[in-house]
Chain A
Amino acid sequence: MLEIKNLHVKLEEEDKQILKGVDLTVDAGKVHAIMGPNGSGKSTLSYVLSGRDGYEVTEGSASLGGEDLLEMEPEERAAAGVFLAFQYPVEIPGVGNMTFLRTAVNAQRKARGEDELSATDFLKEVRAKAKALKIDADMLKRPVNVGFSGGEKKRNEILQMAMLEPKMCILDETDSGLDVDAMKLVAEGVNALRDEGRGFLVITHYQRLLDHIKPDVVHIMAEGRIVKSGGPELALEVENNGYADILAEVN
């Protein structure tokens, strides 16, 4: 479903190459995890896939279900099914969380030529999904991410994902900053969305999350490239020995 071929990306502003030939295919129904040292380009990959400004693709391609992602505006990619749970969710003062969600859901429905969700249906759905993530009514009313704790922000990302029902979910370190219980909630949220039509790309530093969300494939990214791929055991290896052995091996 998601197909990334030989993707090279540099910063728009300066001559700095960050991704140096990423190849990655995520089939529908699969969960892929990406691990890798700080600064290896994991977040950059997620931003380039979702269309953030500031990067220039110098070579290669990325497509979703055969559609060229790189040609699309960020909102078109969203409507096509790309969702990014941000490593650092953004605060929007004065905009109620619920308003934000509803505007987003309806914008995507409209873009896909579907009818808007009625206020009643929307509320019902949000409440049910929020409850599962232990997000209370107060948090739904508060401005988007403003004054949320780190863990609350991450759960809020998962709530948005649950409401938007994307095809391709990219989670950038959604587990960082979560306590043990919150990690379980988030994992349950993700697992509830797992189905054969949907792919996941889970960026993480820790095996812990992968205990709860069993990945099909684990990739190691280093210096802008995927240097090794394997099964869940690869994550265990990283957890136990760090990256040194793996990096030595590929070099």
Chain B
Amino acid sequence: MAALDQTQVKEGVDQETVDAVREVGGAYKYGWETEIEMEYAPKGVNPDIVRLISDKNDEPEWMTEWRLAAFERWTKMEEPNWAMVNYPEIDFQNQYYYARPKSMEEKPKSLDEVDPKLLATYEKLGIPLKEQMILAGVEGAENAPAEGRKVAVDAVFDSVSVGTTFQKELKEAGVIFCSISEAIKEHPELVKKYLGSVVPVSDNFYATLNSAVFSDGSFVYVPPGVRCPMELSTYFRINAENTGQFERTLIIADKGSYVSYLEGCTAPQRDTAQLHAAVVEIIIEEDAEVKYSTVQNWFPGDENGKGGIYNFVTKRADCRGDRSKVMWTQVETGSAVTWKYPSCILRGDDSQGEFYSIAIANNYQQADTGTKMVHLGKNTKSRIVSKGISAGKAQNTYRGLVAMHPKAKDSRNYTQCDSLLIGDKCGAHTVPYIEVRNNSSRVEHEATTSKVDDDQLFYCRQRGMDEEEAVALVVNGFCKDVLQALPMEFAMEAQQLVAISLEGSVG
């Protein structure tokens, strides 16, 4: 009866969500700032800055060279402009590329040594950096799961990783989970082998810039046959002003292994826009499986479209081995501009890729997001479920590529792409690209666009819910297929976010 139990827990969750939303009241709840002494590299980017970042991280020479080569390439590239997003030109020389709390100069040896201010920051964000059970937090005896679940956290603050929990327990299982800067020093053979092997240095403008100036991020290696004993998560916080965040994540699931990885992000509320350009690479060997979930809640800019994060992210999973499997789940509620297409390279025979996405754009937000499913191996399968919600004056674009290569015989794709409009000043766009180059494969695409239905809202209100509660309920229903794909803790957070992001969108 596992399925039944789960449903009941979710039943409880919805209520929690609504309560949490009521309590939160205000719009963006992570908009506060940590007062902390910072150390910056000089503004702008050039080979000296690249060297300095490499030096701050104590990197070996090969890494510095790798970065410099990337920088060299980047200077010859142009910013892409094909996405349906509009933003003022970014002055790449008027940004800081490296910012770290002074207290992190000497890398703390354990969490006990971390600056209390930093710990307090994560505490306030609801991410306690303690090795404790994270309780699913649903009250009511019947609904609560019997025991809590462990989640290991790597906390990244501006340019540096503050600390990683549960390191010892993970080590015993053979799992490596640390900051990428640490991995470069401690596990150079793995980093050398895999870094840039999924997203090549020259991949695209932002990924190339990231390759040159990435400061930190997370590294995961799960050895053959190991099922990672807990969820892994990285929490990114941009705090410093005028500072770009360029994190780099590398996840390797060796043969027959399994890991579920969560990523969360927030930033203070500021008038000026900030740049975030991350790269995530995932390598999945034979029979291995990776689940990657994101709840992206960067500051979206205010209701007049001022400020916010420009989010240009390259995420790609390479299903190298036969029967390997990857599942991307994303809830994109934040950022002023989102440019993001988590992709699956289905190289191994019988490999599978799934992409579940909720993208919410309110006020002046612009989201251009989707996925790429590149079928290379035989009998590969992919599934795309995208739910786009637009409110206010926002523009929301789903852009997706499904490519069946000649050798990808008997492969299948199913795409379902639904858009929901709240009000009449927003827009939803669907841009599917489909390339089928063999005749035994099948691609199915379904798309719908609908408006939040007044009759549904009235029905909810007649039963006692206020308008915002009603919208939250209806929209959460619209997103259900995706919310269900998220791990429990994130599902709750995501439901709240859906509600919060839509505040002020009706009435």
Contacts of B467 in A (CB 8 A): 73, 75
Q: In A111-144, which residues have CB < 8 Å from any B CB? A: 111, 116, 118-120, 123, 141, 143
A residues in contact (CB < 8 Å) with B: 50-53, 73-75, 77-79, 82-84, 86, 89-96, 98-100, 102-108, 111, 116, 118-120, 123, 141, 143, 160, 164
Within the complex, the shortest CB–CB distance from B449 to chain A, in Å, comes to: 14
Contacts of B265 in A (CB 8 A): none
Tell me the complex Cα distance, A98–B143, Å: 13
Q: Which of B141, B453, B461 contacts A120 (CB 8 A)?
A: B141
B485 CB, nearest partner CB in chain A, Å = 13
Task: Tell me, in angstroms, the Cα distance from A107 to B17 when the chains sit together.
Answer: 13
Interchain residue pairs A-B with the least CB separation, the first 8: A119-B140, A94-B477, A94-B480, A95-B477, A104-B463, A108-B464, A74-B461, A90-B459
User: CA A123 – CA B461 in complex, angstroms?
Assistant: 22
> What chain A residues lie within 8 Å of B456 (beta carbons)?
90-92
Neighbouring B residues of A52 by C-beta, 8 Å: 458, 462
B476 A107 Cβ-Cβ under 8 A? no
Set of chain B residues within 8 Å of A99, measured between Cβ atoms? 10-11, 14-15, 473
Contact B474 A95 (CB under 8 A): yes
B247 lies within 8 A of chain A by Cβ:
no
Q: Within the complex, what minimum Cβ distance (angstroms) separates A46 from chain B?
A: 10
- A/B interface sample: 15 pairs, CB < 8 A: A74-B458, A75-B464, A89-B459, A92-B474, A94-B480, A107-B18, A107-B464, A107-B469, A119-B12, A119-B138, A119-B141, A119-B142, A120-B141, A123-B142, A141-B7
Chain A nearest CB, measured from B389 CB (Å):
13
Which B residues are in CB contact (< 8 Å) with A96? 7, 10-11, 14
Q: Which of A94, A98, A105, A106 contacts B479 (CB 8 A)?
A: A94
Give Cα A143–Cα B11 distance, bound, in whole angstroms. Answer: 11
- Contact check, A79 vs B464: say whether CB atoms are below 8 A apart: yes
| Residues of chain B within 8 A of A82, CB atoms compared | 462
Is the interface on chain B under 10, 10 to 19, 20 to 34, or 35 or more residues?
35 or more
| Structural contact, B464 and A78, CB atoms closer than 8 A | yes
The smallest beta-carbon distance between A247 and chain B, in angstroms, is 32
Nearest CB of chain B from residue A201's CB, rounded to whole Å: 15
Give the contacting residue for A160; candidates B138, B463, B465, B473; CB below 8 A: B463
Residues of B within 8 A of A51 (CB): 461-462
Residue of A90, A100, A107 contacting most chain B CB atoms (<10 Å): A107
Known pairs A74-B458, A79-B464, A102-B14; list 17 more (Cβ under 8 Å). A53-B454, A73-B461, A73-B466, A75-B465, A75-B466, A78-B464, A90-B455, A90-B459, A92-B477, A94-B480, A95-B480, A99-B14, A100-B463, A102-B11, A102-B15, A104-B464, A120-B142
The verdict on B205 contacting chain A, using a C-beta distance below 8 Å, is no
Which of B447-494 touch A at CB < 8 Å? 453-456, 458-467, 469, 473-474, 476-481
Interface of A is mostly: helix
Chain B: which residue is nearest A119 at the CB level?
Answer: B140
- A203 → chain B, closest Cβ, in Å? 15
CB distance from B142 to the nearest CB of A (A): 5
B271 within 8 A of A: no
Tell me whether B464 and A92 are in contact (CB under 8 A): no
B139 interface residue (CB < 8 Å to A): yes
| A47 CB → nearest B CB, Å | 9
A106's partner among B10, B15, B142, B478 (CB-CB below 8 A) is B15
- The docked-state distance in angstroms from the alpha carbon of A75 to that of B473 is 15
* Cβ-defined contact, A95 with B473, below 8 A: yes
Compute how far the CA of A102 lies from the CA of B467 in the bound complex, rounded to whole angstroms. 16
Query: What residues of A have a CB within 8 angstroms of the CB of B481 in the complex?
Result: 94
- Inter-chain CA distance A141–B11, complex, in Å, is 9
* Chain B residues closer than 8 Å to A164, beta-carbon distance: 463-464
Q: CA–CA, A74 to B467, complex, Å?
A: 9
Q: In the complex, A106→B18 CA distance in Å?
A: 10
Residues of chain B within 8 A (CB-CB) of A108 are 463-464
